[in-house]
Structure 1
């Protein structure tokens, strides 16, 4: 049986996140693998996979802030807000040429900070139990509600004026649930020329970086990040004694709420194994997620 742990994979373009999970299941010989956030087939970059009992940690990873590198093409709109969609509008070359760098900067500033963003119609959001992209592909009208997200960085790295279009290479730091495709769409709309995403790469999820990720071909030979190590990176570590570890595993509360400096922490037993994620309950600590017991080592 596969050991529990976290696996960082650098997803290539042209395959789905589920394809990566399927390959990991075959390579590691287990069905119990999940991921902390999908990437579109067009996109590349970091997928965080949980293996065996470490799938329980994905709950604490999926909501982490993320970093993306992307290319936005101004001057052309698509029905999916990215290059996989069908072109729906093309701005006049003279109108695109009149878009100044200052106007682009102003448009980006307006999309930075806390914003109300309407997700792309072709998204995985469920509407009355069905995925928005399934409804859209079936020709049904999809109206998604705006949601509050935070874009803490929206920075242009390079601007290329190419005929009747403007390509922007950007980097974005944002909260979970932010659609980079929607940023491209909304920037293009604000500038009056339309826009869509032509490239997207996720480089960070919380404390995990794509530089530590492996290719899909190297999954079988890769050592997993131990649950205790991964949990400590995500929520911080709290050392507990053997008796405390036993009590937490049995659902009991332990004294020592004052030892917890943050909202929660990873309880690590004397053998370096992850007991679970604990939270403060008054002056005590309670495990809100218990890990299956590992074999020491």
Structure 2
């Protein structure tokens, strides 16, 4: 328990390569001494970067984090396609000699532009999407051919940061360092695949690092190796204030809201507010309906730091 008595909060972690998101959750459970740990947005083992975890009652905040927009730094390799759309799969197609060398910067930029905006994206066949109750990646591993339905996503920008010609074995490749800003549910591997198909050279992802989720940046994340949940937790009130408008309540209002009572509140109908008590602890989230509060979720006072 922290010096403030807080056992609930949000952790911003920098996930290392080679670990699953579940691995990170398991380590955090041991370090924090609680089973109630969840995460907002899975990262593949080959991916690194920002993973947001919630402890105890703050897992309730993760629902509001999952759908936030995200930003990634990635490396796309043009010149070969793989079974998984990333470097962990087997190569299925290689571009013919000379085709990769002939790629023009303008053509690459134009193809990237075609992949931005409100688009229908076909997720990678090795995604965690369920097909008839079974994960797509599990079906692929069993030898099934899986083609998932395209889904609407928003890819706000794909910024081309650098291009690096090279060799994969004896085959010419072109590595692109890109920064992708996108909606939740976007598959960066699918961008690599689609770019390779658009340029008729094949493409797959070789590196992926998530740098932002909503207002939370990687610069605020802690290394898993040095994780200290006692001191690294962000208070739920602080996190809620970065996501919602804040309603500062007096002691009587706070007590009524904690007891499930509706209280008068002058705010825009349908807006989600974070209710904070005089001790700056999060009471809960509520909406305004007909001039009264409608509680969406409450937070236990003994977990958020209140005495």
With the shorter chain as reference, the TM-score category is over 0.9
1:168 aligns with 2:176: yes
- Measured against aligned partners, the alpha-carbon deviations of 1:216-243 in whole angstroms (never above 9, x if no partner) come to 1221263310010011112232212222
Identify the residue that residue 51 of structure 1 maps to in structure 2.
55
User: Structure 1 stretches of 5 or more lacking a match?
Assistant: none
- Measured against aligned partners, the alpha-carbon deviations of 1:25-82 in whole angstroms (never above 9, x if no partner) come to 1111111100001100000000000001100100000110000000000011001100
1:233 aligns with 2:242: yes
CA contact (8 A) 2:237 2:274 kept: yes
Identify the residue that residue 306 of structure 2 maps to in structure 1.
296
Once the 2 structures are TM-superposed, how far is the Cα of residue 260 of structure 1 from its aligned partner?
Answer: 4.3
CA contact (8 A) 1:11 1:47 kept: yes
Identify the residue that residue 185 of structure 2 maps to in structure 1.
177
Task: Provide the secondary structure at the position in 2 that maps to 1:114.
Answer: strand
Question: How far apart are the structure 2 equivalents of 1:148 and 1:192?
Answer: 24
Aligned positions, number: 296
Task: Provide the secondary structure at the position in 2 that maps to 1:288.
Answer: strand
Identify the residue that residue 224 of structure 1 maps to in structure 2.
233
Once the 2 structures are TM-superposed, how far is the Cα of residue 261 of structure 1 from its aligned partner?
Answer: 8.1
The normalised TM-score by structure 1 is 0.96
Task: Provide the secondary structure at the position in 1 that maps to 2:228.
Answer: helix
Alignment root-mean-square deviation, CA: 1.5
Task: Provide the secondary structure at the position in 2 that maps to 1:96.
Answer: coil
Question: How far apart are the structure 1 equivalents of 2:109 and 2:279?
Answer: 53
1:127 aligns with 2:131: yes
Question: How far apart are the structure 1 equivalents of 2:83 and 2:53?
Answer: 30
Question: How far apart are the structure 2 equivalents of 1:291 and 1:101?
Answer: 53
User: Structure 2 stretches of 5 or more lacking a match?
Assistant: none
CA contact (8 A) 1:72 1:167 kept: yes
- Measured against aligned partners, the alpha-carbon deviations of 1:178-235 in whole angstroms (never above 9, x if no partner) come to 0000000000100000100000000101111111111112212633100100111122
Identify the residue that residue 40 of structure 1 maps to in structure 2.
44
CA contact (8 A) 1:248 1:286 kept: no
CA contact (8 A) 2:222 2:232 kept: no
- Write the mapping of 1:135-214 to structure 2, written as runs, cut at 5 A: 135-163=139-167, 164-214=172-222
- Measured against aligned partners, the alpha-carbon deviations of 1:222-279 in whole angstroms (never above 9, x if no partner) come to 33100100111122322122222222223332211x3348731211111111111111
Find runs of 4+ consecutive structure 1 residues off by over 3 angstroms.
none
Question: How far apart are the structure 2 equivalents of 1:6 and 1:246?
Answer: 24
Between stretches 236-245 and 44-53, larger displacement belongs to: 236-245
CA contact (8 A) 2:17 2:45 kept: yes
Question: How far apart are the structure 1 equivalents of 2:75 and 2:150?
Answer: 23
Question: How far apart are the structure 2 equivalents of 1:29 and 1:129?
Answer: 33
